[in-house]
Chain A
Amino acid sequence: MGLDIAFWVLAVVSVGAALAVVLMRDIFRAALFLVLCFFTVAGIYITLSADFLAGAQVLIYVGAIGVLIIFAIMLTRESRRGSPSGRLRLPALLIGLLFLVTMVFVVVSTDWHVIAELPTEPTTTAIAQALFSGEDGFVLAFEIAAALLLAAIIGAIVLVREK
C-alpha cells in the first residue's frame, strides 16, 4: 500500500517535471526541473527495490549530469532568449502521441508473466556477481565501458580546449 502511494506521487511528479523541461521558456528552470525528474526517478528505482541503482542515479544523473548541464547553460548565456519551439512542433506532438498510444496499447494488451513478490535481497552483491562472474558475465563490456569513458573525457577536453 505504501509502495503504491509512493509510486503514484513519484510518477506524477516525474511526469510533471519532464513536461516542465520541454515546456518551460527559461532553460535554467528547465534544467532544475530535469534534476527534479532524475531525483524522482531514483525514488521510482527504490519502489522497484533497486537500491544500488537508486544511489547510482542520484550520484551520476542528479550530481554529475545535472551540474554539467547547468554549467553548459551558464557558459552559453542563451538563457534570456529562452527555448522556443521550432517549425516541427505539431509533427513532433503527433509523433509523440502516436508513440505513446502505441506503447500503451501494446503494454495493456500483452499478457505479462510476472513474479509479484518483492525481491528481498540487496542488489549490490547480485549486480557485482552478474558483472564479474566468469561464465556469461559482463567483464568485456565493463572494460569497453572504461575505454569509452576515457575516450569521452579526452574528446570533451579536446573539443573545449582553447586554440
Chain B
Amino acid sequence: MAVGLEHFLILSAVLFAIGLYGVLAKRNALVILMSIEIMLTAVNITMVAFSRYSHVISGQVFVIFIMVVAAAEAAVGLALIIAIYRSRKTVDAEKFDLMKW
C-alpha cells in the first residue's frame, strides 16, 4: 500500500497523543514542556501533509508561524521554570501551588 495522506495524518495523531499523555501524566515541568513541543510538531506535520496533498502553500506558511510561536513559548516557558526553580528549589509541577486557591 502506497503512503498517502492518511499515513501522515495518523502519524501526527500518534505523536499528538503521546504528547498529550506526557503533558497530563508527567510531574517534571521540563518534561511537560517537551511534550508540548511534541504536540506542536505533530500539528505541523498535519499542516505540511495537507499542503503537499492539495498543492496549496498556505499550510506551510502557517507552519512557519507555529514555529515562531513555539520558539517564543519555549523561551518564556523555560525562563519561567528557571525562575520558579530559583525561588522554590523544585521543578515538580505538583508542588507549584502559588496560584492555587
Contact = CB atoms under 8 A, between A and B. Distances in A.
Interface residues of B, number: 71
B99 interface: no
Contacts of A76: 30, 81-82, 85, 91
Interface string B1-21: 011111111110111111111
Instruction: Select the residue from A8, A93, A103, A153 with max chain B CB neighbours within 10 A.
Output: A103
B100 interface: no
A160 B18 CA distance: 30
Given A68-B78, A99-B20, A138 B61 contact: yes
Given A22-B21, A22-B22, A95-B20, A149 B79 contact: no
Interface residues of A, number: 87
Contacts of A91: 24
Contact of A141 (B18, B25, B65): B65
Given A69-B34, A112-B6, A160 B83 contact: yes
The main secondary structure of chain A at its interface with chain B is: helix
Nearest to A100: B17
B76 A37 contact: no
Contacts of A48: 8, 48-49, 51-52
A78 B71 CA distance: 23
Interface string A96-126: 1101100110011000111110110001001
Contact of A83 (B2, B26, B57): B26
Contacts of A131: 61, 64
Contacts of A8: 3
Nearest to A85: B25
Instruction: Select the residue from A11, A72, A88 with max chain B CB neighbours within 10 A.
Output: A72
A75 B19 CA distance: 24
Interface of A: 3-4, 7-8, 11, 14-15, 18-19, 21-22, 27, 30-31, 34, 37-38, 41, 44-45, 47-50, 52-53, 56-57, 60-61, 64-65, 68-69, 71-73, 75-76, 78, 81-89, 91-93, 95-97, 99-100, 103-104, 107-108, 112-116, 118-119, 123, 126-127, 129-131, 138, 141, 145, 148-149, 151-153, 155-157, 159-160
